[in-house]
Amino acid sequence: MNASLPRPLTLSTDGPLRGRVRVPGDKSISHRALMFGGLAVGETRIEGLLEGEDVLATAAAMRAMGCTIERTGSGEWSVHGVGVGSLLQPESALDMGNSGTSTRLLMGLVASHPIVATFTGDASLSRRPMARVIEPLSLMGADFTAAPGNRLPLTLRGLSPAIPIEYTLPVASAQVKSAVLLAGLNTPGITRVIEPVATRDHSERMLAGFGAEITIEDTPQGRSIAVRGEATLHPQHIVVPGDPSSAAFWMVAATIVPGSDIVIENVGMNPTRAGIVAALSAMGADIARENERDVGGEPVADLHVRNAPLKGIEVPADLTPSMIDEYPALFVAAAFAEGRTVARGAHELRVKESDRIAAMAAALTACGVGIEEYEDGLAITGSGGEPIAGGATIASLIDHRIAMSMAIASLHARGRIEVDDGRPIATSYPDFTDTAEILGARADWSER
């Protein structure tokens, strides 16, 4: 096989999905565990780390700046950190692959260290805007030289000591919030971020667990998160829960495939990430939380999902921050609902790994689904539970979530739905097709 050639992928099934599965470790938490462990003095142990390409890019970058990171067993990793303020000058450019999270959070780390780092990425990442992170980090004293449009490749010159700031997020973004807080770790005084709309809070939870002084308040302007700089982080034992973004594909698959009955074990149920469960449940999905518990400060549950008829709804816009990565899977669910589903307020989808609004509109239209496209979302007229037409080849656009979402759609289609290239799936879910086969589906990889 020539690794440079596309690998088309189709999923299919002759019957219901059945079984118990686990999804990979949460990607957001995995990135942060490596970064925060790299800033602690001593050994941090991580279980359940997502071993996808995006997270491995974070590991490689932290190694390049002086941390020792080793895989010690199946899903077990050891991180020996260098301490806040002690990151080393990388000898070469930091290749972020396809990972926007790695790029933006690491920019925050570097911004308050006296080092220079160049960030590069693949073609998809190089099209994604970095201005929203550059703006607050520049206020803290970091200097940037970027490609046109404030895109990669980008060179960052950190400042130490940096300048503490109070910054109100102009758009809801956990990545921007986290970048500023991470820069604040090595900045004298108090660095504060105000978010008018709450976003995922993994950084705040984990930083507090590592010993950073974090203060969180509700204010008239929004949620205020402050970190006291010149922090000392203490090594931790982190157990990474399953990624709800990965679980979303199987929630949708079991819901739409007749007779299906599955359990997805150990899924992170952080309230700032569980919007997809709320949205699907509002549509009529049969999703029961079982064995609810806390693991490492994060709420976790096993999700029991059974096939159920869906009805179109108007998706509440206030769910958007808690399910921004799950919209492609939600769009697939809507394609099988009775009536019309309207999902708006998701402008951020235009600047993900691909333009996910346009990409999913094109993909579902090609499969015979009625679509109305808006600047900030889609209106989808569903099949009422019947198979969709299918019979199309879908452009994945180097986007793992487009590829997985349309692979799931093919499980209940009259005609074959082929994703033109399934390789991007490895960025977040290397075992995606293995999981499909455990549940009774077939994965057909073609060679070109």
Give 341's strand partners.
Answer: 380
- Residues 416/12, Cβ–Cβ less than 8 Å: yes
In angstroms, rounded to a whole number, what is the distance separating the alpha carbons of residues 173 and 334? 25
Side by side, the strands of the sheet bearing 298-306 are 18-22, 261-268, 298-306, 286-295
| Max CA separation in the chain (angstroms) | 62
Residues at the binding site for 3-phosphoshikimate are 27-28, 32, 173, 175, 325, 352
Rounded CA separation 184/189 (Å)? 8
Active-site position among 26, 54, 201, 325:
325
State the Cα–Cα distance between residues 425 and 407, nearest whole angstrom: 11
Q: How far apart are CA 215 and CA 208, in angstroms?
A: 9
Which pairing describes strands 314-315 and 340-343: parallel, antiparallel, or unpaired?
Answer: parallel
Please report, in range form, the residues annotated as the binding site. 27-28, 32, 100, 128, 173, 175, 325, 352, 356, 401
Single-letter code of the amino acid located at 215? T
Element holding 117 (H helix, E strand): strand 116-120
Strand order in the sheet with 442-445: 392-394, 417-419, 9-12, 442-445
Annotation says 431 is catalytic: no
Q: Are 226 and 207 in contact (CB under 8 A)?
A: no
State which amino acid sits at residue 435: T
| Residue 324 burial by Cβ neighbours in a 10 Å radius (0-12, 13-18, 19+) | buried
Q: Retrieve residue 191's tokens.
A: 């660095």
Amino acid letter, residue 242:
G
Binding residues for phosphoenolpyruvate: 27, 100, 128, 175, 356, 401
**Residue type for position 86:** S
Pick from 70, 103, 21: nearest CA to 437: 21
Catalytic residues: 325
